[in-house]
Structure 1
Amino acid sequence: MTTDELIAPGTTGPATPTRRGSLRPLLLRLHFYLGVFVGPFIFVAAFSGLLYIFTPQLERAIYAHELTVPVGQAKQPLNDQVQAAQRALPDATMVRVRPGDADEATTQVIFSRSDLAPSHWLTAYVDPYTSQVRGTLETYGSSQAGPVRTWIDELHRGLHLGDFGRLYSELAASWLWVVVLGGLVLWWGRRRPAKGKGRRRLLSWHATTGTWVAIVLLFLSATGLTWSQYAGDTITDLRAALSWQTPTLPAASGHGGHGAHSEHAGPSGPAVAATADQVRNIARRAGLDGPIEIAVPSEPGAAHVVKQIRTEWPTKVDSAAIDATTGQVLATLRFDDYPLGAKLARWGIDAHMGVLFGLPNQIVLAAVCVAVLALIVWGYRMWWHRRPTKGGFGVGRPFPRGAWRSVPTPVLIGLIAVTAVLAWYLPVLGVSLIGFLLVDSAVGWAKGGPAVPARR
């Protein structure tokens, strides 16, 4: 039985009676309401995500002067480059250094300052061949996102509305997997294919496209929840219970290499300039190849923490704690030694951001985002097709209330139990579901309550 079979064209009620002992009427009503009310939130998330996907390439074009330099004859000592950056930002505290890995890449010297928001930095971009500072930018997070990428990222996460705005993205991620799974059950449980023109053809496009992108959408929903305010806490607690947290260097505990991300240091602090070259060379000998980041210790005598920052496949995020005065490697942490849960979290985050597999990753995400936009437009178009054709302006009515009465009692009890557990661990889903039920009940009560099939 398809959607078109339940509601005849040009009518506002069911054309045929629903089957007894069927979950389908309830799924149809749920899928309809989620499409109407949650669809806009998913649309915004997909559109802003589409904008974000290619921001690395966009930043390389916009900030080419800061990020790249003409290739010279020989690079200057890293110490000289760091000192040049410190002279350019005398009122800020240096926290990290990223030597340019490619021949044309600048060295990034990252500073904190008291007037910056949490996880925001000032980054000086230094020409490694001349030690000249080519510019400074405010950057964000561990990925050193520039202003353009930061603006789009904040749009995607919270519409630039702070913590309140983040509820929109959590609402979208919380319901996305429900929409996907419900749609799959409805489509693959139909009695016959939906063929024809108009609404039937839209239904076929909607369902077929949704099936093709379902796996990726479920993945995006799960990984998106890890960044959320409330469900994210649940996931963090779950990872802790399973010992799936990302491990840290024992020798780096309490030092600035890791703590600097949560709090900005004061205006004064030890400088890495005298030992930057030495620390980098020791890290190379310890096997930390490719792009690296040197974290400045927050207190005298503490170890420097050096870590790889390659998040593309194969992932290289090994780290080492180094005593720069003795040249001793105090501890190392290899990505190979991460617990499976920590590895999956790392890969999941990077794939969600489109960096794990480079350009192919970006193309797949972009195609899925476009597909989601089309799915939502088709869904609203199908709703429009179901509007009454007589009696003036109107829109398609929802599927009849009381659909839960057709669900077998054991199944209904199981659904209530599962929903209660999900609502507890996914609070935004739970609160929005309660809100919908209250509004739906109030509307039904105001209309005198539509006739619903008796429980059989």
Structure 2
Amino acid sequence: MSTTSQQTGKRHASDLYRAVWRWHFYAGLLVLPFMITLAMTGGLYLFKDELDALIHADMKRVAVQEATQPPSSLISAALTAHPGKAVKFTDPATPESSAEITVKTAGGERLAVYVNPYTANVLGALDDRGTVMWTVRYLHSLKYFEPTARKLIEIAGGWSILLVLTGLYLWWPRRKGAGGVVSVRGKPKSRTFWRDTHAVTGLFVGAFIVFLAITGMPWSGVWGAQVNQWANGNNFGYPSGVRVEVPMSDTRLSDQSSTTWSLEQAQLPESSTSSTSMTPMGIDQAVATFDELGLHRGYAVNLPNTDTGVYTGSSYPNDLSQQRVVHLDQYSGERLLDMSYADYGALGRWLEFGINVHMGQQFGLANQLLFLAVCIAIILLAVSAGVMWWKRRPEGKMGVPPLPSDKRVFRGLIAILAVGGLLFPLVGASLIVMLAIDWLLIRPLQERRLNSRTA
């Protein structure tokens, strides 16, 4: 190979490296603040049950006694302390757990009232979903903010994937014996130390970041909502195998309480009112029926609020195979619909599995500890990126990586970015905005500075 060809090849490789580095910088600029927040809140939420039981021990933990009171007595006690209408009864998950009664007050508020299942003593009350871990969950998903803000989750997810892929390219060893591949050189005072820390950490957790980004997409504002509608929006949203000819209401299961992603579009069946002599069976009989059907302990029972309403027992334990939703006719106790994880379609099962692993539930403590380590590593990635940038950037400047000498190298990179934008529309829109800023503002400024130095 001629010297000229070698020089051309080296220049092309250098240009491609600069282009990738530039977009890695932009991706980090946009995503790292979100990744730190998501990692911190996500790391806490992995231990939601343990932390809630500790923080709210005065309301959630009870001493075990011989016999429990019937659900109707627990509901009566809750309504005596907090007048209103009971809308949900949550079975104690363990012998040491309290029962939870959701009450809608006369003022329209929803309270979670905690009752000792053995003595029917009211232990306290919080706003519905008012525990510390519900707060952490809402912060994690940006649900406390406007719907527009929640769409940032989709953008952050797409850009984090771009961050990992470009980071992998930048890490890839190009010289034999190159350091900083799987080891960290230097000391904390040097930029090399932080560069290697960033690169090696990214190597080991990059695949996990991509997994978390993809499995977090179902909750996003545009992509997640559209895919959910497409996957679960037909025939009342019920999975294949459980669609039966029963009267259906206009109420969705998700309107009453939290449910799985695959059942967000599902509508409730209606109880039969063909016999005027029929009387409701009551919560005690409904709970006894759910117990006989073998719902996992800790299941919730939504109470009927109309003449055609149903008792809905829903259980979403860590073990996906035990997830189940059962609707009972409030008069006859007949099972109208009975759904479990096995009834979901292939897409629903895949997404639910990914979500369950994402939340640290599928594989017990090992799942929690692994993703806690990933969350810590993400924070380390963000911190090391910030330190590395601060040490590299010219004084008083942003430190955007230099332009490639041949700008045609951007064409292939932009084509790859466009494919990602088509898959995730909000990510595509943000890419266009970033391209415009780079092309119209940042690039001309860098070129003027370069020309002034060479003049």
Name the TM-score class by shorter chain. Answer: 0.7 to 0.9
Asked if the contact 2:312/2:327 (under 8 Å) is kept, the reply is yes
Task: Give the equivalent residue in structure 1 for 2:49.
Answer: 56
Task: Give the equivalent residue in structure 2 for 1:172.
Answer: 156
Task: Give the equivalent residue in structure 1 for 2:196.
Answer: 204
Q: How has the CA–CA distance of structure 1 residues 316 and 420 changed in structure 2, closer, same or farther, with 3 Å as cutoff? A: same
| Structure 2 counterpart of 1:334, one-letter code | S
Q: How has the CA–CA distance of structure 1 residues 404 and 109 changed in structure 2, closer, same or farther, with 3 Å as cutoff? A: farther
**What are the within-5 Å matches in structure 2 for residues 91-102 of structure 1?**
91=84, 93-102=85-94
Where structure 2 has 5 or more consecutive residues not aligned to the other structure, the ranges are: 1-8, 259-278
1:46 and 2:35 matched: no
Normalising by structure 1, we get a TM-score of 0.79
Separation in structure 1 between the aligned mates of residue 108 and residue 73 of structure 2, nearest angstrom: 26
Asked if the contact 1:318/1:334 (under 8 Å) is kept, the reply is yes
1:407 and 2:409 matched: yes
Q: Which structure exhibits the higher relative contact order, with contacts defined as CA atoms closer than 8 Å and separated by 6 or more residues?
A: 1
| Aligned equivalent of 2:332, options 321, 326, 329 | 326
Asked if the contact 1:256/1:295 (under 8 Å) is kept, the reply is no
Q: How has the CA–CA distance of structure 1 residues 199 and 23 changed in structure 2, closer, same or farther, with 3 Å as cutoff? A: same
| Aligned equivalent of 1:288, options 284, 288, 295 | 295
Task: Give the equivalent residue in structure 1 for 2:5.
Answer: none
**What are the within-5 Å matches in structure 2 for residues 361-376 of structure 1?**
361-376=367-382
| Structure 2 counterpart of 1:276, one-letter code | I
Task: Give the equivalent residue in structure 1 for 2:392.
Answer: 386
Task: Give the equivalent residue in structure 1 for 2:269.
Answer: none
Number of residue equivalences: 411
Q: Deviations over 1:148-193 (max 9, x none)?
A: 1222222222284333442443332221111112212222353343
Indicate the percent of aligned positions where both proteins have the same amino acid: 28
Task: Give the equivalent residue in structure 1 for 2:276.
Answer: none
Asked if the contact 1:249/1:320 (under 8 Å) is kept, the reply is no
Task: Give the equivalent residue in structure 1 for 2:350.
Answer: 344
Separation in structure 2 between the aligned mates of residue 208 and residue 325 of structure 1, nearest angstrom: 62
| Aligned equivalent of 2:116, options 117, 127, 130 | 127
| Aligned equivalent of 2:211, options 199, 219, 222 | 219
1:442 and 2:447 matched: no
Asked if the contact 1:252/1:321 (under 8 Å) is kept, the reply is no
Normalising by structure 2, we get a TM-score of 0.79
Task: Give the equivalent residue in structure 2 for 1:163.
Answer: 147
Task: Give the equivalent residue in structure 2 for 1:7.
Answer: none
1:74 and 2:67 matched: yes
| Aligned equivalent of 1:253, options 244, 248, 253 | 248
Q: How far 1:67 sits from its partner (Å)?
A: 0.9
Asked if the contact 1:98/1:109 (under 8 Å) is kept, the reply is yes
Q: How far 1:450 sits from its partner (Å)?
A: 6.7
Where structure 1 has 5 or more consecutive residues not aligned to the other structure, the ranges are: 1-15, 141-145, 264-271
Q: How far 1:342 sits from its partner (Å)?
A: 1.4
Asked if the contact 1:244/1:340 (under 8 Å) is kept, the reply is no
Q: How far 1:279 sits from its partner (Å)?
A: 1.2
| Structure 2 counterpart of 1:279, one-letter code | A
| Structure 2 counterpart of 1:111, one-letter code | V
Task: Give the equivalent residue in structure 2 for 1:105.
Answer: 97
Task: Give the equivalent residue in structure 1 for 2:399.
Answer: 397
Separation in structure 2 between the aligned mates of residue 222 and residue 399 of structure 1, nearest angstrom: 28
Mean Cα deviation higher: 371-380 or 50-59:
50-59
Q: How far 1:249 sits from its partner (Å)?
A: 6.8
- Over the aligned positions, Cα root-mean-square deviation in angstroms equals 3.4
| Structure 2 counterpart of 1:379, one-letter code | A
1:232 and 2:239 matched: no
